[in-house]
Homo-oligomer: A and B are copies of this chain.
Amino acid sequence: MISQAMREQVKSNSIIRAMFEEGKRLAAIHGAENVYDFSLGNPSVEPPNEVKKAILEIINEENSMAVHGYMNNSGFEDVRAAIADSLNRRFATHFTAENILMTVGAAGGLNVVFKTLLNPEDEVITFAPFFGEYRNYVRNHQGQLVVVSPNTADFQPNLEELKRKINMKTKAVLINSPNNPTGVVYSEETIMLLADILREKQKEYGSEIYLIADEPYRELAYDQVEVPYLTKYYENTIVGYSFSKSLSLPGERVGYLVIPNQATDFDNLISAANIANRILGFVNAPSLFQRVIAKCLDAQVDLESYNRNRELLYNGLVSFGYECIKPEGAFYLFIKTPLENDVEFCNLAKEKNILIVPGSAFSCPGYARIAYCVNYATIERALPGFKALIHEVKEQGSSNS
């Protein structure tokens, strides 16, 4: 007798689960090394050495009651101050501990933000393609997710459509750069145009429209591409960050929110976010790992491993005739599927033991996401399958016409 809403979740979830089971079934038949699982965004690069060092130092030297105990729901004050300092050094911002709220990963942080901001039926606008969980996070707090259709030319956000979709009920615009699933980094030009639109619309409606930046992939940017720090472009910005990818700690659930003093209603925002963190049941970000990340703010995973994967996969796929934007960040590559039906294409890929996710799961049919956070050798072994796949699909297409 679960709730009606969860009954629907269980039903739709079981489709993804079936895919997952299929992967395990294939591995049992063909051997795990002959199944090429590009379906999950699970980091494949080890945490940097600094993490182990930090854990051992804290456990051997610090007081165990303080390390494992309750602190303010916003997190340890010294950890928040260290994060503020680090951001200030890197992005010429002016944050203090007061602007930082430690969260249970970025997912926890986004839920805190939506709990803080949303009245029932308030709208949050995001740009397709987007991480499917956004829909759940907004729904958890009785909001409505409004989706701007994808700009498949370059996967920068479709700002003209955004303008048309903003209305009285728009409480926030949610962006994710470097982007899951496209790997695209939103340019400074995009951000400035976006900020102008939001300022204009705030004036038009006499409302506050918060820009929420979900940034778990901030540190995974290649070719020295710059990822603009959004609080510098728009006052009502809230940044959500996670150490899951930058330090390969996805299981530890540690991240933070940045709420700048310039945001409208700052005092209430920061108090409400602190309370939301508590009453949603997070209570606080895990305490040991708050202390660990404070010692690892200048560390990061070996980006070159992901970069090598990116080059191998991108160059291989393009040489076979696949169309895709070269990703500038994150560890995803988003191909146009040679078959219009992306689900059908992903099923064909599965016959070659290649597991990839249909773009439909990101509200962008006709595409597929390849997560290249895998071993280099997995990509090498999978490439012939990708090549055969596009040839077969094209031959099938021409024999049909």
Question: Which residues of A are interface residues toward B (Cβ below 8 A)?
Answer: 1-7, 9-10, 13-14, 40, 42-44, 46-47, 51-52, 55-56, 59, 64-65, 67-71, 104-105, 107-112, 115-119, 122, 133, 136-137, 140, 142, 171, 207-208, 210, 248-253, 264-265, 268-269, 271-272, 275-276, 278-289
Contact = CB atoms under 8 A, between A and B. Distances in A.
A280 B136 CA distance: 8
B42 A279 contact: no
Contacts of A5: 119
Contacts of A133: 278-279
Given A2-B116, A104-B281, A276-B6, A68 B288 contact: no
A46 B59 contact: no
Contact of A6 (B115, B208, B248, B288): B115
A82 B129 CA distance: 41
A65 B248 contact: yes
A13 to B, nearest CB: 5
Given A281-B137, A289-B286, A117 B248 contact: no
Contact of A251 (B71, B108, B118): B71
Given A251-B287, A253-B104, A9 B275 contact: yes
Given A119-B4, A288-B288, A136 B279 contact: yes
Contacts of A43: 65, 69
Nearest to A115: B6
B280 A140 contact: yes
Contacts of A44: 65
A286 to B, nearest CB: 4
A253 B283 contact: yes
A13 B284 contact: no
A281 B52 contact: no
A276 B136 CA distance: 10
Contact of A208 (B1, B286, B288): B1
A301 to B, nearest CB: 11
Contact of A59 (B55, B109, B171, B250): B55
